[in-house]
Amino acid sequence: MSEPSPDGVRSSFFGRRHGRRLRPGRSRRLDSLLPRLRLVMPAEGEALDPAALFKPAVVDVWLEIGFGGGEHLAAMAAANPGIGFIGCEPYVNGVANLLVLVEQLRLGNVRIFDDDARLVLSRLPEASLGRIALLFPDPWPKKRHASRRFVSPENLDSMARVLRDGAELRIATDDPLLVRWMLAALIAHPHFAWLPRGPEDWRGGAGRARAGPPPWPRGAGPSGRRGAPSRCRPRRPRTRPGCWPRSARSR
């Protein structure tokens, strides 16, 4: 378990940090490229200024929690060069994959935190992010592991705190149990309201262009996964956010 952050938040990451042995090129990137892109926590008492992580300056900073192999993050960073992207992922093999993509696509707007996203959330200033993506989080299907699911009242509190007015929270899953769990948590949370205007909001079809989020960037959808992200657009995340849902199973 990692050290607690200065405000006492400890890593609560329960997944695996290592997979198959890395090929030499990937190990080399972890040694040479990751130190240049790694988000290093400021010392106790110092604020984490997300915009200051990026040079040249960026107009906004977006966070992706649990980016897996980084396909979505890299595609979003390539499509939005004026935005700074912070990706959190403790799984080393996933980080190594993102480093390959960063190099291939020559991305200068990506920073990586290779540990529990909660540690970053706890250090970010209030209203400092324009978007958070939480795509296909681990479903932890067993009842006794339910407390490990990332969408919890505490983590929703943290995300509402760091999202700016007009920001977006994008959540996707293809797990039928988790979609119900996540929507129930959002509906119950005082800072997120589920505001369906009709089935087209979550089934796609005619309402898609009007209400739904853009689809995955071309080629960025996690392989074999179905579903577009649900989108929350809080007007004031700390008081009255709103959530525009999309079915996790819609195409």
The set of catalytic residues is 138
Residue 228 in the binding site for ligand SAM (CB under 6 A): no
Residue 94 in the binding site for ligand SAM (CB under 6 A): yes
Residue 67 in the binding site for ligand SAM (CB under 6 A): yes
Which secondary structure element, helix H or strand E, spans residue 165, and what is its range?
A: strand 163-172
Residues binding ligand SAM: number (CB under 6 A)? 20
Residue 66 in the binding site for ligand SAM (CB under 6 A): yes
Q: Whole-number minimum distance, CB 1 to ligand SAM, in Å? A: 12
Give residues with Cβ within 8 angstroms of 85, minimum separation 6.
Answer: 61, 62, 63, 64, 73, 76, 77, 109, 110, 111
Instruction: Between 221 and 234, name the residue whose CB sits nearer to ligand SAM.
Output: 221
Q: Are 132 and 171 in contact (CB under 8 A)?
A: no
Among 48, 65, 112, 228, binds ligand SAM (CB under 6 A): 65
Give residues with Cβ within 8 angstroms of 104, minimum separation 6.
Answer: none
d(CA 249, CA 82): 31
Residues in 8-27 that interact with ligand SAM by CB under 6 A: 13, 15
Q: H/E/C letters for each residue in 10-60?
A: CCCCCCCCCCCCCCHHHHHHHHHCHHHHECCCCCCCCCCCHHHHCCCCCCE
Instruction: Between 88 and 167, name the residue whose CB sits nearer to ligand SAM.
Output: 88
Residue 219 in the binding site for ligand SAM (CB under 6 A): no
Residue 217 in the binding site for ligand SAM (CB under 6 A): no
Q: Are 142 and 136 in contact (CB under 8 A)?
A: no
Q: Are 13 and 86 in contact (CB under 8 A)?
A: no
The interface mask with ligand SAM, positions 110-149, x = CB under 6 A, is ------xxx----------------xxxx-----------
DSSP state letter for 174: -
Residue 190 in the binding site for ligand SAM (CB under 6 A): no
Residue 167 in the binding site for ligand SAM (CB under 6 A): no
Residue 90 in the binding site for ligand SAM (CB under 6 A): yes
Interface stretch with ligand SAM, choices 44-52, 90-98, 178-186, 231-239 (CB under 6 A): 90-98
Q: Are 129 and 170 in contact (CB under 8 A)?
A: no
Interface stretch with ligand SAM, choices 54-62, 64-72, 99-107, 191-199 (CB under 6 A): 64-72
Q: Are 200 and 206 in contact (CB under 8 A)?
A: yes
Residue nearest to ligand SAM (CB): 66
- Which residues is 133 bridged to in the sheet? 64, 170
Residue 91 in the binding site for ligand SAM (CB under 6 A): yes
Q: Which residue type, as a one-letter code, is found at position 155?
A: N
Q: Whole-number minimum distance, CB 242 to ligand SAM, in Å? A: 24
- Binding residues vs ligand SAM (CB under 6 A): 13, 15, 65-68, 88-91, 94, 116-118, 135-138, 150, 222
